[in-house]
Chains A and B, each alone.
Chain A
Amino acid sequence: MFGRLKQMLIKEFIQVFRDKRTRFILVGPPIIQMLVFGYAATYEIRNVPTVVLDMDNSQESRELISLFTASPYFHVDRQLTNSKQLGDLIEKGDATVGLEIDAGFARKLRGGQTAPLQVIVDSTNSNTALIASGYITQIAIGYAQIYQKDRIGRIAPQLTETVPSVQLQARPWYNPGLKSRWFFVPGVIGSLTLVLVVTLTAFAVVREREIGTLEQMMVTPIRPAEFILGKTIPFFLIGLFDVSLIAVVGTVWFQVPFRGHVSVLLTGSILFILCMLGVGLLISTVSSTQQQAMVTAFFFIMPAVAFSGFGFPIATMPQWMQYLTYLVPLRYFLVVLRGTYLKGAGMDILWPEMAAMAGLAFSLLTISILRFHKALD
């Protein structure tokens, strides 16, 4: 048995590494994608193009605007003279935020009324709009607090020291700089492994069927179990190699901290790759041409990545979609990846995810091997 398996493995490795392009595909695209993701995927906002229309032009209004100028989140590059300009700039996309202070701002403030700060946000990108609005509110409230304190100091100086206030001290754990990169880089390791292992496995089997070499294999003394092992072991190893490669590139290049144990990540990776081998084999049993395999793989990959929490939080999905996410192996692997990278979590915390992946791997592999036997008969 081991002799035959060994021969089959030698054949598979030769097939994979013979073609220059395939060799490149195992290394090139994963690294390119890791780099592009690391640089491009960001929800952070900095220097949002902002225009200001100050019709009051008082000391108060200028003070408020200076807080926006000083903020790293906004780039105030223009003072306008009428509201038509403001509308035009936002419409053209030259500005994302427009701040408008009407005449009478300072008068209202001094008179103890609520003075309005009008804000126009281009919400074509709803996420940028949401976060920018949050920062605008924080700046306005900050200004109001300073103003309030000054005011109390003027009307009742004896009270300034004792007036109570509650301050929030926010401590972002695990990712104190709130860097998108720290969130995406571990996730990219998972999604790239998924795409690579599933497509490689599905293609390798279907190609033999399409070209007709599968029948040739079947007339040799090789047994189905040896054939399946011979097909999966190389991709298991390649998958493991690619996980390590992408992980090292991502960690070293983007300086994402790795706080957990390599052994925990390795266990998670092995379980996840087993799941993906199962999926790849399953796809190969329902496809007779490579094009069909690719199309089927694509239909699996898109939802598997979208439902995993890779880029979008699962908690905000509709309930029926949240139930579906439990069937997605990547969901669990992402918890393991982010847990080991950022939280330094160990097996005591991650065992439910590991158990879920082990269960999924077992079912997927069993189903695909049973179906595979049938497909061979």
Chain B
Amino acid sequence: MNFNRMMAVARKEIIQIVRDSRSLAIVVLMPVTLMLLFGYGVNLDLKGLPVYVLDRDGSQQSQDLLKHFQASSYFHIVRAVNDYGSITHALDDGSAKLAIVIPWNFSQRLSEGGTVEVQALVDATDDNTANVLIGYTQAVVQGYSAEVQTRWLSRHGQQIQPSPVGVETRTWYNENLESSAFIIPGVLALVMSVIGAFLTSLTIAREWERGTMEQLISTPVSAMEIMLGKLTPYFALGMFDVVLCALIAMDWFHVPFRGSFITLLISSALFLVVVLSLGFFISVLAKTQFAASQIALLVTFLPAFLLSGFLFSIEQMPAALQWITRILPARYYVSVLKKIFLKGTSTAMLSADLIPLAVFALVLAVLATRAFHKRLT
């Protein structure tokens, strides 16, 4: 292992990266693009959803209930229709997400006393939107119901507290329930996966495909020097992106950063070693750039996106899948990221995530070295 020879390989790699402007662009543009896409594009908090109403009663009371819907910022009543067919059509073609149907005997039932049912037809194609929407509708109707009851009881000489139980919710760590604060820390894991595995496996597969790897091997450079020399520049680029992403997250999207910056750098370095080794490993196994890129996507980007807790919480997955996530490094890295950014968890408490990450880094680095040696001989 000669440091000068390793640096020579690294220098060659840097020249290649700089010469290929598009590769260099991906290093800067990709983190920015992913940050903007997920920061602005992912918003699961719903406002102003299109609502149709069918008021079969047309009375003072039914209009009163509809006013409660108008007052809420979650609903936007786009049209009042007279027949059921228009509602079906509006839900079918997506011009309404919710339709409220008030029965013809609404006011009559209310004055006679007893329970009257209001129907909410919800487009549940998107189950999450539907779920949140039903919750909001429920709240409006129950609020109205409580008002009606209190008024009716006071007319009958009974005073009653309209809301006996008050829910006082405090949301910790992400006080305003910002989707961006939930999403953005995890984007770092996506960026690392792309830089580490995707780009690396491509560049190395290219050397194999073009035959320049053999030329490199015929020089006095050892296998270890080739590997380290090739990976060092990508490691540096990855660390540059960590800082870039952290700055965008904090200064542009105002995601709180409550933990230690040093721990962020350490955990990112560990995860980078993991993905770089994986990328190297893949490039040794896959013969073509096309195969290398597809496999890299499958084993790094996909788990980082789907199985890391980045977007979908792991605890809601089937037990078998939850178990699989334990052998995915991205899971631990995303967990560290969210805790550092939002919770400000101390480094000591992060050891449950950092130790597995370190073990993965070590094991994968050894495996990649072995596989490379084997292919050479």
Q: Which of B170-178, B224-232, B242-250, B268-276 contacts A (4 or more CB under 8 A)?
A: B170-178
Residues of B within 8 A of A296 (CB): 22
Partner of A164, one of B119, B152, B302, B316: B152
Interface size bracket, A side: 35 or more
Q: Is the interface of B mostly helix, strand, loop or mixed?
A: helix
| Cα distance, A338 to B126, chains bound together (Å) | 9
Partner of A121, one of B160, B169, B307: B169
| Cα distance, A289 to B209, chains bound together (Å) | 12
Across chains A and B, the number of contacting residue pairs, with CB separation under 8 Å, is: 360
| Cα distance, A119 to B163, chains bound together (Å) | 17
Is A245's CB within 8 Å of the partner chain B? no
B182 touches A126 (CB 8 A): yes
B165 touches A167 (CB 8 A): no
Partner of A173, one of B91, B302, B342: B91
Q: Which of B122-171 contact A (CB under 8 A)?
A: 122-132, 134-139, 141-142, 144-145, 148-149, 152-153, 156, 158-161, 163-171
Is A147's CB within 8 Å of the partner chain B? yes
Residues of A within 8 A of B175 (CB): 123
A170-B321 contact in complex given A22-B290, A116-B168, A159-B153, C-beta closer than 8 Å: no
| Cα distance, A19 to B289, chains bound together (Å) | 13
Q: Which residues of A contact B (CB under 8 A)?
A: 19, 21-22, 25, 29, 32-33, 36-37, 39-47, 49, 64, 90-93, 109, 112-131, 133-138, 140-141, 143-145, 147-148, 151-152, 155-156, 159, 161-176, 178-180, 182-183, 199, 203, 207, 289-292, 294-296, 298-299, 302-303, 306-307, 311-313, 315-318, 321, 335, 338-339, 342-343, 345, 349
Q: Which residues of B contact A (CB under 8 A)?
A: 20, 22-23, 25-26, 29-30, 33-34, 37-38, 40-49, 65, 91-94, 97, 109-132, 134-139, 141-142, 144-145, 148-149, 152-153, 156, 158-161, 163-175, 177-179, 181-182, 194, 198-199, 202-203, 206, 286-291, 293-294, 297-298, 302, 306-307, 311-313, 315-318, 321, 338-339, 342-343, 345, 349
A sample of 23 cross-chain residue pairs with beta-carbon separation below 8 angstroms, ordered by A number, consists of A19-B288, A21-B291, A40-B307, A43-B312, A45-B316, A114-B163, A117-B166, A118-B170, A125-B182, A127-B44, A140-B167, A145-B142, A148-B149, A162-B112, A165-B148, A166-B118, A172-B124, A175-B124, A203-B289, A289-B20, A295-B25, A298-B198, A316-B44
